[in-house]
Chains A and B, each alone.
Chain A
Amino acid sequence: MLGYFNYWLAYIIILIGFYGVIARRNLIKQAIALGLFQTGVFLFFVTMGVYRTPDGTPGVAPVWTDAAKTGPFDNPLPHVLMLTAIVVSVSTLAVAVAIIVNIQRKYGTIEEDEILEADREAYRKDR
């Protein structure tokens, strides 16, 4: 039963991040929750790569050293893919922060409902 624990926690972290994005009104809080979401996805993938031999020897890190020449290695492919994804996640956080700073300069606020209200006001005035 406990063998599925990692997947359940990965889903819980993903759903906490998702809740943060749809239920919170502050834009920076939404950007932080998006990062949380991405971390849950990394947990899901890297868990799939863990290896243990049938007689119980735990796998070691996939680096060939003098101490671990032929030992059961963990699968390195999920590590590689998630390495890329971590750096992409910080890139999207940087672009999101740049956009939020510009929104603050233009609207004076970073709360979603106040921004939508300002847009509706401007639209009504234009008409």
Chain B
Amino acid sequence: MVNQVLVLDVFLLLLVAATAIAVVTVRSLLSATILMGIYSLLMALVWSNMHALDVGFTEASVGAGISTILLLGALVLTKRFAKREPIIHVPALVICVVTGLLLIYGTADMPKFGDPNAPIHHLRVGQDPSKKSLLLQNVGKHPSAAPRDKGHAHEGHPDDDFNGHVPNTVTSLLAAYRGYDTMYETTVIFTAGLSMLLLLRRRRDDDEIREGRRS
């Protein structure tokens, strides 16, 4: 029986691959930027088809929105056309094709699309102490953590760690179970903004002082 998700998935991914080849091949940088916007929107469709709604939301807003604006601003400040060069660079193409064939040969061991017996759905680190696993961690709550009180759930909602206040499991993972990762990711975004300020803002002040616009 055919997987309904897979049919649309195949069609969309063929479009995505065609757009990716166009992005790398085209000579005008403005066309490459707009094609990256189209590519991001197609990827958002692929994520929505695979029921990854949060990822699709983020890809559409960040990839098709902010990334396009950023590259268009970069084009205004630099050049708009790349220099003419041969379309196919033979040594690089040979390396990519050989690596691709090796990688495709290596997918024979991986679980198929949507396989219910895939290890990601069943195994947790340190779950079975009889099996010798490489990293036997103590997965559980720290002894001084606040005790979870079951039985105080929001009306009609499941009785879980958050008393039913957080139906979106992705946000619960992002902010609570993996909150440490998200804190440093916010720091990464802050660092990117900071480096933009440091690299691009000083020159404007220098120019204005030199032209005598500032006292």
- Give me the interface of A with B, judged by CB distance under 8 Å: 2-9, 11-13, 15-20, 22-26, 28-29, 32-33, 35-36, 39, 42-43, 46-54, 56, 58-65, 69, 73-80, 82-84, 86-88, 90-95, 97-102, 104-105, 109-111
Contacts and interface: CB of A to CB of B under 8 A. Distances in A.
B78 A100 contact: yes
Listed residue (A20, A35, A97, A105) with the most chain B CB atoms within 10 angstroms of its CB: A97
Contact of A50 (B5, B29, B167, B182): B5
A4 B108 CA distance: 8
15 contacts: A17-B24, A19-B92, A25-B82, A28-B78, A39-B59, A48-B111, A51-B121, A79-B170, A86-B63, A87-B188, A88-B189, A98-B199, A101-B78, A101-B200, A102-B200
A39 B43 contact: yes
A42 to B, nearest CB: 7
A35 B70 CA distance: 13
A6 B70 CA distance: 29
A90 B62 contact: yes
B74 A101 contact: yes
Contacts of A13: 16-17, 20
Contacts of B113: 2-6, 47, 50
B21 interface: yes
Contact of A94 (B1, B46, B118, B196): B196
B192 A83 contact: no
Contacts of A18: 96, 99
The 10 closest A-B pairs by CB, nearest first: A3-B112, A91-B192, A52-B114, A23-B89, A26-B82, A23-B92, A64-B167, A20-B24, A98-B199, A61-B51
Given A46-B52, A102-B199, A91 B188 contact: yes
Contacts of A104: 77-79
Contacts of A12: 17, 20, 100
A93 B39 CA distance: 16
A64 B158 contact: yes
B74 to A, nearest CB: 4
Given A46-B47, A51-B116, 16 more contacts: A16-B17, A19-B92, A36-B20, A39-B40, A58-B4, A62-B51, A76-B173, A77-B173, A79-B52, A83-B170, A86-B62, A90-B63, A90-B70, A94-B195, A95-B199, A99-B199
Interface string B158-188: 1000000001111001100010011001001
Given A19-B24, A97-B71, A5 B10 contact: yes
Most buried by A among B116, B188, B203: B116
A6 B13 contact: yes
A61 B63 CA distance: 21
Interface in B59-108: 59, 62-63, 66-67, 70-71, 73-75, 77-79, 82-83, 85, 89, 92-93, 95-97, 99-100, 103-104, 107-108
A42 B82 contact: no
B163 to A, nearest CB: 13
A65 B196 contact: no
B66 A90 contact: yes
A9 B16 contact: yes
